[in-house]
Amino acid sequence: AKKSSSIITNDISEIHCIIPSTAFALWGFADAQIQVYCYWLIGSFYNSGHDHSRAVGWYKCVQSLGTAIGFFLIPTERLSEVRQLSVSSLLFLVGTTLSFTQLPSRTV
C-alpha cells in the first residue's frame, strides 16, 4: 500500500488485498442469494397481486428500517466494534429463533 498525502492506495495484485476482496465479493453474493430467496418465499406465499405487493412493501419497509439502524450504529464513536459484532450476532440469533416458530409442524 502506498500513502500519498492522506489517501491510501492499494494495488489489487498485492497479496494482502486478495483475501479481503474475495470476502467482500462472497458477502455480496450471499446477500443476493438471501434477497432472491426472500422474494421467492413471498411469491410462493401470496397468490393475489394485491397481497403480494403488500408483502413486498412490508419486506422493503423492514429492510430499510434495518439498514437505517445499521448505518446509525456503524460509527465507532456511537458503538464500539465489539459491541457492533455483539448486536449483529444477537439480532441474527433472535431472527433465526423467530423464523423457527414459522416452520410448518410435522404430521406423520
User: pLDDT tens digits, residue range 90-107?
Assistant: 988 998 888 888 766 766
- Contact indicator for 45, 55 with CB cutoff of 8 Å: yes
What is the structure's pLDDT at 88?
Answer: 83
Whether the per-residue pLDDT at 45 is higher than 90: the answer is no
Q: Which cell numbers in the block locate residue 49?
A: 397481486
What is the structure's pLDDT at 69?
Answer: 83
Q: pTM, whole model, 2 decimals?
A: 0.59
Whether the per-residue pLDDT at 3 is higher than 70: the answer is no
Q: Which cell numbers in the block locate residue 105?
A: 409442524
